[in-house]
Amino acid sequence: MRLLVQYTAQLRTAVEKAEEEFELEGRSSLATLLARVASRLQAEATRHLLTPAGRLQPSLMVVLNSQVVSTREAESVLVKAGDVVTLMPPIAGG
Amino acid sequence: MPELPELSADERSRYEWQLWVRGFGETGQRRLKATTVFVSRIGGVGGTVAMQLAAAGVGRLILAHAGELRLNDMNRQMLMSTDAVGEPRIAAAARRLREINPHVVVETISENVDETNAHRLTVGADVIVSAAPLFEERLQMNRQAVRRRVPLVDCSMYDLEARLLTVVPGHTPCLSCLIPESPPNWKREFPVFGAVASTIGSLAAMEVIKLAAGLGEPPKGRLLNLDLGSLTFASIAVARRADCPECASTLAPF
């Protein structure tokens, strides 16, 4: 199944693209998708997604079809064909 | 509840166009006049918030920001002028705000928010506006807002993107629900246009006016995400964290 991953803010800058498609096996979890995304990224981009220990950054907002999903629930949330997953690193004022 | 302050003839004339706004009127204006708003910091975002709130006739502005105005602030600093570069920015901001609207009480604090002063600085605020570039400051303002049960309007930006979150303690997720800790990769200085800062600052000011006057609906439990590159605005549903260290104990059961 095909899903669309959108990159925002620092992640978009590091990846140098706004979005890309991913192909997953059926009945995959959000965690599986995020692991696939991480495996495709360069180190500069990966650090916005993962901690040095390889866990998801606690302050990364993961939006599944217009709803923020807790990264701690990523294992239990299933994704489906056509889903749009937006990755939003935290940003600030200035 | 204390009686709302009266409007002078000068104020009725000054605010005439917004007094025509449906659902606002003289009562809304008087509510706004009765409102104290704390804003930190006073950069491109916070400066725009302060400027819009002053023009709209908020009663009292408390502005907090340490340090001097720098030349590389000026691409996004609509509140101040080039001849103030090198001066304490808070003084330049207050001067311009009083020029915009002498009816507004402007108080300045040459400090940035931190763990030791957050409580003291935000005393008396009816609404807190978080426009700081450091997450520690934003999370401290969030903590004060939740503890005092006053709304927080949090603004952020990067490149051509900006976000707005309105926290109504007891009713919505708080900033800590979304950002539980300071991210390790954040850089204090980042790419952005002044137009992006002004856009999100103006949206934040409108949220404050709505909250103060009881106008419209705050986006409860929604994060507004603006991508000005594609001119796309997205309203994203955000959820409370059951174990949020700041707001979980203040909220009604899930």
- Three-state DSSP state, B69: coil
In a domain, A39, yes or no: yes
Q: Give dist(CA B225, CA B154) in Å, integer.
A: 12
Whether pLDDT at B253 is above 70 = no
Residue A29 pLDDT > 60 = yes
Residue numbers in B near A93 (CB within 8 A): 41, 43, 45-46, 130-133, 138, 155-157
How many other CB atoms sit within 10 Å of the CB of residue B20? 9
CA gap A31, A76 in Å, rounded: 8
Of B25-29, B104-108, B191-195, B215-219, the least confident: B215-219
Cβ distance A94 to B135 less than 8 Å, yes or no, reads no
Residue A43 lies in a domain: yes
Enumerate the residues of chain A whose CB falls inside 8 A of the CB of residue B132.
92-94
Judge whether B60 and B35 are in contact, CB under 8 Å. Answer: yes
| Residues on chain B touching A66 (C-beta within 8 angstroms) | 234-237
Distance CA A89, CA B59 (A): 36
- CA max distance for chain A: 43
Domains, chain B, with CATH or none? 14-250 (3.40.50.720)
In-domain check, residue A74: yes
Question: Nearest C-alpha of chain A: how many angstroms from B192?
Answer: 9
CB contact under 8 A, B180 and A8: no
Query: Which range, of A38-47, B7-16, B75-84, B200-209, averages the lowest pLDDT?
Result: A38-47
ipTM for the complex? 0.92
| Whether pLDDT at B1 is above 80 | no
Residue-level pLDDT at B10: 98
- Which among B195, B189, B61 is positioned nearest to B134, based on CA atoms? B189
Q: Is B8 helix (H, G, I), strand (E, B) or coil?
A: coil
Residues B63 and B31 sit within 8 Å (Cβ to Cβ): no
CA-to-CA distance for B74 and B12, rounded, in angstroms? 34
Domain that holds residue A48: 2-88
Q: Token match 């796309």: residue?
A: B232
Task: Give alpha helix (H) positions in B116-218.
Answer: 118-121, 135-148, 175-178, 194-213
Nearest CB to B185; choose among A48, A68, A93: A48
List CB contacts (< 8 A) between B191 and chain A: 13
Report CA torsion sign: B91, B97, B99, B101. negative
Please give the Cα distance from B153 to B144 (Å, whole number). 12
Confidence (pLDDT) at B185? 83
Does A55 map to a domain? yes
Q: Where are the alpha helices (DSSP H) in chain A?
A: 9-15, 30-40, 43-49
Of the candidates A67, A91, A94, the beta carbon closest to that of B163 is on A91
What CATH number is associated with residue A57?
A: 3.10.20.30
Question: Residue A93: inside a domain, yes or no?
Answer: no
* Distance of alpha carbon B7 from alpha carbon B28, whole angstroms: 11
pLDDT, tens digit, 9 for 90 and up, residues B26-74: 999 999 999 999 999 999 999 999 999 999 999 999 999 999 999 999 9
For residue A67, being part of any structural domain is answered with: yes
The total number of structural domains in chain A stands at 1
Q: Residue B220's pLDDT band (boundaries 50, 70, 90)?
A: confident
